[in-house]
Amino acid sequence: MRSTFWFLRVRGIAIGAHWSWLFIALLVVWSLAAGLFPSTYPGLPGSAYLVMAIVATVIFFVSVLLHELGHALTAQREGIEIRQITLWLLGGVAHLRGRPASAGADFRVAIAGPVVTLLLGGLFYLVMAVGRAMGWPAAVVGVADYLGRINLLLLVFNMLPALPLDGGRVLRDWLWHRQRSYLRATQWSAGVGKAFGVVLAALGVLSLFTTTGFSGIWFLVLGWFLAQAAQAEADDAVTRQSLQGLTVRDMMRPDPVTVDPDISVDRFFDTAAKARFSAFPVTEEGRLRGLVTLSQAAMVPPDQREDRTVGDIMLGRDQVPVLPAQQDAAEALELFRDDGRRAVVVDAADRVLGVLSTSDVAHTLQVRLARGLPEDPGERRRGRFLAVAIVVLALLVGGAFFYQPPVVVVSPGPAFDVSRDVTVQGRDVTQVNGRYLATTVRLEQPNAVEAAIAGVRPDREVVSASSVLPAGTSPEDYVAQQRRLYEQSRQVAAAAAARAVGLRVNVSGSGVIVAGVIPGAPAAAALRQGDVIVAVDHRDLHHTWQLQETVAARPAGTRFTLTVERGGATRQVSATSAELPRLAQGVGIGVLGQTRDLRVDLPFQVRFAQREEVGGPSAGVAYALAIADLLARKDYARGRTIAATGTIALDGSVGPVGGVAEKAVSAKEAGADLFLVPGEDAQDTAEHDPGLPVHDVRDLEQALRVVSGSSS
């Protein structure tokens, strides 16, 4: 904690931050501004996400500081000296000098911080609820939501019964109360902490091989820190027990060699050579004036040592650690942790009685440990079975809480009105009288507990992470690919809508670029990222939708011959279609494709608003409906809110998508009057009553008839 800058003092407590705090603060700002807030509250300007992230990060660290102040101020009321509070990489720590006098006092200090965090979490959730009810800006609600969740998450983590966490201190206090032994209580709870740290580190190693993020590295760091801190707690308890009943007088070297402040530095060297010590109290008429060391004297140039005196170079009385001879040995040990390697021992009249150094303390500890630790009076060895049960429970809960299995939870995402995204020029249009909602899903990698909960919830779906992220594709590349598919789907939606109202559209492409291959899919053995498929069964292939239509039109198990360009050469490979996970869009060969050289020539100009947070082609039907409503003279929406999901092809055919049940929840929450889904996905909504009319459609023409009320 030496690399710390200090910025505040509260009731005599110095508050500072370690340099690592700056690193983690920047990391939190980046993760919130680039990830959490855009995915949770889409549609806001990029500057808004940055401001939200900065405000949330500042308030989050203020929350951590208030947590530590809860510990510190309670400790002061219990008569414990507080040295400082330091914010650092993994949160914060309040430095207490000494230990509470009883288990009850220690419990009150330990629980004060979590109580503050609980109150803060409740307050932020209240602000979020009030903000949503009163229609406050999404930025305010989003920050309050995050702060509520992060404070309660920290509360759960901090209350795990493993030292040095607050829950571990509560466990120690309970064992201390039952066993009447601070040492054994600390050893038990520190053992839980070390075991928990090892489990976290092991989960970190496992996560490095089963997930795509860097959470495994954080688990390793956190596990190492907890194990080391728990061992330090246990060592400190052993040290205190070893020094029980001893005073400073028992450990010091009595009758030290002292020097007068008026002697020259040259004469001081003569005295030091005979005494064979490195530090000497400086006294005048028997009373302490300061301390001089050989290293200080050696810094005086040889030609000045006759003229310079010890008084010129010594540390003054106020700079020397001083201990009374009757001070408790364990309390004196705190001085060495703060102020250096040695202290001068004096009596009530400030006369020097001895010198105490770290080597003296180490010698005393070695002797006491060799003889055996003295037991606390009245110690009771009971409650061990319950303690073991708590250990096992802590490890299971902690492991499940922090381990992220290689799965993804699909949950309802936000719905947005696509008709507000579209601007048509070069042709007369009629404004949409209503809303066309594109529905989305949110993909999150859960911990084991969240995955188990999601597995039993009807509005959640748990799928393999490998079914979402193709092999050899990083999360960043996958997001970029989905963004390109989304942009292409909007162009194709405009073409399909124009054709639906009788306009001529020319569309061209030169093949399908393989952007990724789903692990275990039929094409995994035949195709690789970067291939370009230019023909299927010897028929030219121009765009992605043509490939999807060709494969989906034949039953699973059909063998296709693909003509592929790879590395400047053309070759033929074979792939058999199969039923793939719903996120892979039903029957397919398992590739994530993009049209090469896509060109859509429309008889008008169309512009789309930017939506950086949206990806994938599933909004195609919603855009096609909105554009058709704009181009046609007929009022299709008629003041209603129409939700839709599904891919759209150039000929207007609607393709299957994943997460339809979750999207139905989004549609209902957004106030939709009806929900259009691909025919292949109708069964998913039938199994989960969404609470609104659902219509399955095969193509855009049928979807327009359903919307207009001509056909169901």
Cα–Cα distance measured from residue 307 to residue 313, given in angstroms and rounded to the nearest whole number: 12
How far is CA 412 from each of CA 63, 455, 459, 658, rounded to the nearest angstrom? 30, 14, 7, 12
Please tell me which residue in 68, 461, 565, 613 is annotated as part of the active site: 68
Q: At 211, list the tokens.
A: 């997930």
Of 408, 247, 401, the closest CA to residue 327 belongs to: 247
Strand intervals (E) in 276-390: 279-284, 287-293, 315-316, 322-324, 342-346, 352-357
How far is CA 241 from each of CA 227, 335, 442, rounded to the nearest angstrom? 21, 17, 54
Cα–Cα distance measured from residue 664 to residue 463, given in angstroms and rounded to the nearest whole number: 18
- 431 contacts 388 by C-beta, under 8 angstroms: no
Helix (H) or strand (E) holding 444: strand 441-444
**444 is a catalytic site residue:** no
Angle at CA of residue 593, ends 591 and 594, nearest 5°: 175
695 Ramachandran zone, left/alpha/beta (phi>0; psi -120 to 50): beta
Q: For the packed helices 215-242 and 358-371, what is the interaxial angle rounded to 10 degrees?
A: 80
- 66 contacts 72 by C-beta, under 8 angstroms: no
3-state secondary structure of 463: strand
Cα–Cα distance measured from residue 307 to residue 509, given in angstroms and rounded to the nearest whole number: 94
3-state secondary structure of 167: helix
Cα–Cα distance measured from residue 540 to residue 537, given in angstroms and rounded to the nearest whole number: 8
- 392 contacts 196 by C-beta, under 8 angstroms: no
Cα–Cα distance measured from residue 551 to residue 576, given in angstroms and rounded to the nearest whole number: 9
- 342 contacts 238 by C-beta, under 8 angstroms: no
Distance, CA of 662 to chain centre: 25
Of 316, 332, 314, the closest CA to residue 324 belongs to: 332
- 426 contacts 465 by C-beta, under 8 angstroms: no
Cα–Cα distance measured from residue 275 to residue 277, given in angstroms and rounded to the nearest whole number: 6
Instruction: Go through 655-664 and write b for each residue having 16 or more CB atoms within 10 A of its CB, e for each that does not.
Output: bbbbbbbbbb
- 429 contacts 503 by C-beta, under 8 angstroms: no
Task: Find out whether the peptide bond into 164 is cis, omega within 30 degrees of 0.
Answer: yes
Cα–Cα distance measured from residue 187 to residue 163, given in angstroms and rounded to the nearest whole number: 9
3-state secondary structure of 632: coil
- Please state the length of the chain: 712
- 193 contacts 227 by C-beta, under 8 angstroms: yes
**Active site residue ranges:** 68
